[in-house]
């Protein structure tokens, strides 16, 4: 940010009250053509914080793209107090190929931040993005989905030991927060490292727009805007119940011990009790069925979507719930009919 309230990046400037849609060069193809990411910068007439919203650091994780586009292009931002930097597709080469990693040597863009202008292609791309559109912000939301073939209930991943990050994580108003530091090179980790509190929002599966989850995430963004006074129109959201999963909670990826075809009996977000049969591993003849049971009572934060496994492949991500939270979830889930529209 510059002193006069304008947002500046290498090559341009967005004045208060101005909006810019640009395609920003971050690399070049084999043919020497530019690789450019779409960026929308909305600088409100009123003063306030600068936030970035980013998606598709993994090129096949699409739900967040729609969240960022709707905020940038469908919301009425005329009363915005502050600046939004909207980055709907970070990993353009991966997005074009509809795959998770950069197709160039299969690099993970989300392990390449803050980047380096003199290093690998992935780190050069990351450096352009990071220096221009992440480092100048006051906080950020980075949207992801589960890896291809699996799905997640919407949850926030955040380093809750950092008060500024915890404030942002709470403001999003999700039921589940998974407390983790993250890894070196991750956008949220490296942004926090330079003083830009950032959380990851995980939602649903790759290769899809899932309307229910997109709407839930948009409510989260509204709630964050309320918390940081980016506008006056919404209030900070309380999701009804909340659990912060940290190292004291049991959590596990339950893995298949045999290869097979999986009959999953629960949907993402379901509460399962110790001993419940989560899924059944079957062979081609349906003869040797193996029941996979919950080792403890908890929430299925993630489940397999593509119903085939080798031994060692993950079946579901189960996290323990404290008993007080569990009672609230039990009451809620006994009332609720699981929506099928998203599946």
Minimum CB distance to Zn ion, residue 72 (Å): 20
Which listed range, 51-59, 216-224, 266-274, 275-283, lies at the site for Zn ion (CB under 5 A)? 51-59
Least distance from Zn ion to the Cβ atom of residue 202, Å? 8
User: Among residues 103 and 311, whose Cβ is nearest to Zn ion?
Assistant: 103
How many amino acids of this chain bind Zn ion (CB under 5 A)?
3
User: Is residue 58 part of the contact set for Zn ion (CB under 5 A)?
Assistant: yes
Closest CA to 21 of 82, 91, 87, 100: 87
What residue number has its CB nearest to Zn ion? 144
Question: Please, which residue, 61 or 227, has the CB nearer to Zn ion?
Answer: 61
Under 8 Å CB-to-CB from 302, ≥6 apart: which residues? 146, 150, 151, 152, 153, 253, 268, 314, 316, 317
CB of 152 to Zn ion, least distance (A): 10
29-58 in b/e burial notation, b at 16+ Cβ within 10 A?
eeeeeebebbbbbbbbeeebbbbbbbbbbb
For residue 220, the minimal CB distance to Zn ion (Å) is: 17
DSSP H or E segment with residue 148? none
Smallest distance, Zn ion to C-beta of residue 61, A: 5
DSSP string, 60-115: T--HHHHHHHHHHHTS--TT-EEEEEEES-S-HHHHHHT-SSBTTTTB-GGGSTT-
Positions in 202-241 near Zn ion (CB under 5 A)? none
Three-state DSSP at 283 gives: coil
Closer to Zn ion by Cβ: residue 126 or 321 = 126
Stretch that binds Zn ion, among 54-62, 82-90, 227-235, 259-267 (CB under 5 A): 54-62
Q: Which of 69, 144, 150, 268 binds Zn ion (CB under 5 A)?
A: 144
Binding residues for Zn ion (CB under 5 A): 58, 61, 144
């Amino acid at each position: 940010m510059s002193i006069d309230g304008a947002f500046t990046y290498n090559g341009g400037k967005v004045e208060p009250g101005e909006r810019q849609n640009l395609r920003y060069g971050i690399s070049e193809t084999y043919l020497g053509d530019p690789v450019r990411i779409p960026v929308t910068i909305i600088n409100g007439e009123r003063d306030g914080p600068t936030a970035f919203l980013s998606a598709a650091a993994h090129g096949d994780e699409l739900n967040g793209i729609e969240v960022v586009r709707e905020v940038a292009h469908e919301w009425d931002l005329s009363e915005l107090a502050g600046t939004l930097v909207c980055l709907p597709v970070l990993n353009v080469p991966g997005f074009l190929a509809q795959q998770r990693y950069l197709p160039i040597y299969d690099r993970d863009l989300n392990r390449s931040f803050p980047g380096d202008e003199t290093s690998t292609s992935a780190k050069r791309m990351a450096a352009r993005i990071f220096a221009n559109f992440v480092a100048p912000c006051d906080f950020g939301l980075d949207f992801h989905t589960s890896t291809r073939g699996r799905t997640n209930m919407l949850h926030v991943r955040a380093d809750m030991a950092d008060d500024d990050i915890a404030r942002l994580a709470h403001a999003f108003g999700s039921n589940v927060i998974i407390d983790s530091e993250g890894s070196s090179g991750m956008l949220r980790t490296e942004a926090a490292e330079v003083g830009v509190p950032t959380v990851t929002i995980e939602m649903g599966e790759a290769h899809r727009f899932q309307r229910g989850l997109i709407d839930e995430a948009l409510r989260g963004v509204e709630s964050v805007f309320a918390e940081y006074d980016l506008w006056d129109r919404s209030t900070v959201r309380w999701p009804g119940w909340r659990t912060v999963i940290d190292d004291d909670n049991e959590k596990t990826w339950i893995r298949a011990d045999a290869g097979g075809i999986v009959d999953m009996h629960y949907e993402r977000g379901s509460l399962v009790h110790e001993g419940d049969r989560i899924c059944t591993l079957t062979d081609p003849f349906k003869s040797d069925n193996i029941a996979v049971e919950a080792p403890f009572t908890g929430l299925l934060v993630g489940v397999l979507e593509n119903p085939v496994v080798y031994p060692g492949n993950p079946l579901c991500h189960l996290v323990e719930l404290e008993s007080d939270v569990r009672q609230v979830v039990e009451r809620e889930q006994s009332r609720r009919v699981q929506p099928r529209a998203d599946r």
